Structure 1
Amino acid sequence: MNDLELDIRPILRNGGEPFGAIMGAVDQLARGQRLRLYATFRPEPLFQVMANRGFASDASRLEDGDWMVVFTPAAAPIDMVESRAEAPETWADPAYYLDCSELVPPEPMTRILGRLDTMAEGEVLFALLGREPVFLYPELQARGHAFVGDHDETGTAYRLMIRAGRKA
């Protein structure tokens, strides 16, 4: 199986944000297919994002100073993300529902964190998103919230339940 190649250097050179193009390419990968990414810099933040999605990364500098990164899927894909999710099936029913599926980043993160700021410890929020909120996870962890999430059956929406942690 051939690698899927994505060259984000033109996007970066024009001052654009390539994350959407990268995640779009990841969504197009066939089972077991690798992503070969070309960038103007070593994309360190992307390594953890891709690791969370079940990919190992191998970065190498090209002769012209740009970078090529090959993302290889692990043997078993990671379908569900959990953090401090002690028996989520024992959590209370969600007290709040947010449909962020039509919003563009960073609006979903802003709305979710804003709602969590108003919630009591132990209350549960259910959010429906258009994509996996990989940049939200570190914020949730830093604020002491527990969460569990996965893609719906169709793979077109991401479901996230968050149990509010103790206020600082």
Structure 2
Amino acid sequence: MKVTEKTKISELIKHSPETIEVIASVNSHFNKLRNPILRKLLASRVTLKEAAKIGKCELSVLIEKLKPLGFEFEIDMYEDSSNEKINEVIPNQIFDSLDVRPILNQGQDPFQMIMSKVNILPLGKTLEIISPFQPIPLIRILEQKNHTCICNEKEGIFSLFITKNSNEGLENNVLEKKIINKIDSFDEFQNKISTFEKENKLERLDVRGLEMPLPMVTILEKLEYMPKEFALFVHHFQIPQFLLPELEKRNFFMDYFIVEEKEIHLLIYN
């Protein structure tokens, strides 16, 4: 297989599953590849060149590690040009900036605020999102709307530059079909839970003490191994907006009941 700096990690893994352990062995930053859920979220999005940045290592190190697996590399090892690409965007196109770190530190989901910012962004202008991690689910949603996303990392802080290319389909509801249902009655919600519980087909999970993005990752990991006819009852601190497109893709539905502020009960099933 011929490999360039733009080859996705998922393509390398598909060609040779040993790629997972080879890359993970480079340093601890790549350990997330061993997690099947994180791997699915990251590998299809991240290129070999981007992986080197995320892992804080030279691209040449990854290449040398991967060569024994039989890959043929066609890569120009000159200086990384991604910063030049970002510098082209910043001077005349940056319209607004949003630092989501304080929002995340308060245990809140910045999704609606980000989408509202994108909604009012003029065509051709760029919104900068500052985050403590690479917001892969957000990037996936925005790229599906045909917007341009460039992500840069410096000293553990990620800057995502979103350039608006279209006004079409920018409503906050990013789902193609209705998979989420609000239940206002506690008794009705409990009855739905009981339906699965009586048949011993209910699993439970509490993600209230986890930092972002671990709640979503933990839920997806649980669903990955849950039998098809089972349901997952989740104690959450919010309605997980980033999770919804991932549930839709996996053909899951979600009912929710708001107990009080920062306490939401979710029931996920297919």
Greater C-alpha Rg? 2
Structure with bigger RCO (C-alpha 8 Å, 6+ apart): 1
Instruction: Please report the TM-score for the alignment, with normalisation by the length of structure 2.
Output: 0.33
Higher helix share: 2
